[in-house]
A and B are shown apart, each in its own frame.
Chain A
Amino acid sequence: MATGRKGSIAKRLTRMNMLVSATVLLLACTGFVAYDLATFQATLVRNLSIQAQVAGSNSVSALTFDDPSAAERTLSAFHLAPNIVSACIYGPDGKAFATYRRDSSARIPSNPQIVAGEEENHWREHDDLMLVHEIVFQGQRAGFVFIQSDEQNLIERMKHYFTIALAVLVLSLIVALLLSHFARRSIAEPVAQLARVARTVSQEKNYAIRAVREKAEGELAELVETFNEMLEQIEERDHSLRTAHNELERRVEQRTGELAAANKELESFSYSVSHDLRSPLRSIDGFSQALLDDYGDTLDTVSHEHLKRIRAATQKMGLLIDDLLNLSKVTRSPMQREAVDLSSMAQSVAAELAKQDGQRQIEWVIESNVQAHGDSRLLQIVLDNLFGNAWKYTSKHQSARIEFGLKRQNGSSAYFVKDDGAGFDPEYSARLFGAFQRLHGAAEFPGTGIGLATVQRIVLRHGGRVWAEGAVEQGATFYFTL
């Protein structure tokens, strides 16, 4: 393929060279022949006239001294001119004096065809040119000369032209061939080499290769150099890209490692803190209980009250620690996805809540057969929290309605838990899912502010999303997807 392409450009150069020289030559020959043919008639007449005059002046003495044989000797020189068919010397009286015939068929007019007073006359007869010229010697008419010429001249001439043109054509084509050999060396080869290099570069993606200048000159050399420069630039850019890429990769790896380490540290920190906080708390609670049990009789009512407060606070802190541990567990424990029947899970959560306070009038609306695919233990925590919140924030109402189901909208679906309780100010909805963020006072509704943060963690671990809708005293709806 490579040689084929190389061959094609070299061949094309050769062909172009040959074509140009042949065309130029043919045009030149055509022009030359056309010019010559155009002037040939005049030239022929002039040449014939000169021949007639020479023959005439050479015959003057023969005419003067009545010596036809001398005149015939003069005319016989015409046998060297193959185009002269016949010739004749006439005396001043118009009588034939001496004749010349190329062959026996040649016909000679019996008298010179010329009007009195004219020096010369020529005419055509069957493609032959006839010419009569008056012989004048020392101002006196000595006689006439007649010459007949055929087309031999023209044919000879054309033959000559053809031969010469052919010879020149062959010669110039050979020269063109030689020249194109040089052109091939100086043009075709550098181009072919450049093409070869370009192909190698594009096939092997090797930008370190360079085209060789060598025989290239002028624009070709420029082309080769520019090509090389281009390759260099590509190589440089490639190099810097690779460097940047490597640097980025290295940094990402480093950051990821740092992040993972920090995260792990943070988790283990919060776990150990939560865990380690428990035992002193248990001591405080236990010793407060012991104080009440052992010295309850001796303590006054204010001390009793203080000890009760201490115990309530430690219990609250215990809950807080439990929630924190839950939260960290949620992040630490591995996920085990499976098919989960959320409907039955919701039923049992509702039943558990109803057991805590049988006095409350709650209308539970739980959609049946709501299925999910996820970690059942974590989803249990989600439902516990959301139902717990609904239960908690409807506690100030006489009666309440708590719903659970799957809402389908715009081709996607989301699970929801809806209540008609205290609701929240939608302006702060973004803060709902932050840890320790509470929209209501602890006195109003107890809680640690960790529940919704845990819910969000779990939903995010499942690759889902959680959000809330609601208004103050208008109830709240929590949606989540998995």
Chain B
Amino acid sequence: MWLVCIGFAFPSGFSVAVDAQQSKPSEYQVKAAYLYNFSRFIEWPARPAAETGEPFAICVLGKDPFGPILDATVSGQGAGAQGLVARRLTKPEDALACQILFVGDSEEGHLKEILTALGKVSILTVSDIPRFSERGGMIEFVLKGDRVRFEVNLSNAVNAGLAVSSDLLKVALTVRKNPQSGA
């Protein structure tokens, strides 16, 4: 029921991110908005009672390409201060408290360790790293012309206990499924 909660918690709408600047938004403005928008098409399993007070965290691991844009996007979701936060991490272990984890380009080298560290914890992993969705990640940003598109590895998301809406899959560039479930 997280999805619904969030939806009603920030009623002013996603348009803010796009509307904020009438001129064409930058690549990372779009990506920051998408990071938030993914949360509207994905359902996380219910969290343990101890964590229910915790905010919904969008985390960036490694080199942060967003800078203040992400904070602007997060805080732009109206009164979302207590429900939605943006965090910068340096160690993958810190990511266990996050719901969405953006893996920076700088971490491409030890991608495998990071994903292993996350294990089957219900964290949506997103990255710009090429072939991210083929290498154990869930959503990989791809540039098609001047548009930001993305590929989804459904198996990885399902294995982590995430439910991805078919509406999201409908607009994904590619939807991958691992040959065998349980990688």
Binding site for B on A (CB under 8 A): 58, 60-62, 64-67, 70, 91-93, 137-142
Contacts and interface: CB of A to CB of B under 8 A. Distances in A.
B51 to A, nearest CB: 22
Q: How large is the interface on B (under 10, 10 to 19, 20 to 34, 35 or more residues)?
A: 20 to 34
A142 B170 CA distance: 17
B44 interface: no
B90 interface: no
Contacts of A142: 13-14
B6 A93 contact: no
Nearest to A140: B13
B171 A138 contact: no
Contact of B14 (A64, A67, A70): A64
Contacts of B177: none
B40 A138 contact: yes
A233 to B, nearest CB: 93
Given A65-B34, A92-B19, A138 B6 contact: yes
A93 B37 contact: no
B6 A140 contact: no
A29 B3 CA distance: 51
Given A140-B10, A142-B13, A142-B14, 9 more contacts: A61-B167, A61-B170, A61-B171, A64-B171, A65-B168, A66-B148, A67-B171, A92-B19, A141-B15
Q: Is the interface of A mostly helix, strand, loop or mixed?
A: mixed
B84 to A, nearest CB: 14
Given A70-B170, A138-B8, A139-B8, A64 B37 contact: yes
Interface string B104-127: 000000000000000000000000
B147 interface: yes
B147 A66 contact: yes
In order of increasing CB-CB distance, the 10 nearest A-B pairs are A138-B7, A140-B13, A61-B167, A92-B15, A67-B171, A139-B11, A65-B171, A61-B171, A70-B171, A64-B37
Nearest to B40: A138
Interface in B143-167: 147-150, 165, 167
A61 B170 CA distance: 8
B30 A140 contact: no
Contacts of B150: 65
B178 interface: no
Given A93-B18, A93-B19, A141-B13, A62 B170 contact: yes
A456 B46 CA distance: 150
Contacts of B12: 140
Interface centre among A92, A139, A140, A142 (most CB of B within 10 A): A140
Nearest to B147: A66
B74 to A, nearest CB: 16
A70 to B, nearest CB: 5
A61 B168 contact: yes
B41 interface: yes
A94 to B, nearest CB: 11
B4 interface: yes
Contacts of A67: 149, 171
Given A64-B37, A70-B170, A138 B3 contact: yes
A95 to B, nearest CB: 10
A309 B147 CA distance: 186
A61 B41 contact: yes
Contacts of B30: 66
A137 B148 CA distance: 21
B171 A62 contact: yes
Nearest to B13: A140
Nearest to A66: B147
A62 to B, nearest CB: 5
A92 B11 CA distance: 14
Contacts of A137: 7, 40
Contact of A61 (B4, B19, B149, B165): B165
Interface centre among A60, A93, A139 (most CB of B within 10 A): A139
A101 B149 CA distance: 26
A93 B24 CA distance: 13
B38 to A, nearest CB: 9
A139 B171 contact: no
B40 A93 contact: no
Nearest to A138: B7
Contacts of B13: 92, 139-142
28 contacts: A60-B167, A61-B41, A61-B167, A61-B168, A62-B170, A62-B171, A64-B40, A64-B41, A64-B171, A65-B34, A65-B149, A65-B168, A66-B147, A66-B148, A67-B171, A70-B170, A70-B171, A91-B18, A92-B13, A92-B15, A92-B19, A93-B18, A93-B19, A137-B40, A139-B7, A139-B8, A140-B12, A141-B13
Nearest to A67: B171
Contacts of A66: 30, 147-148
Interface in B21-50: 30, 34, 37, 40-41
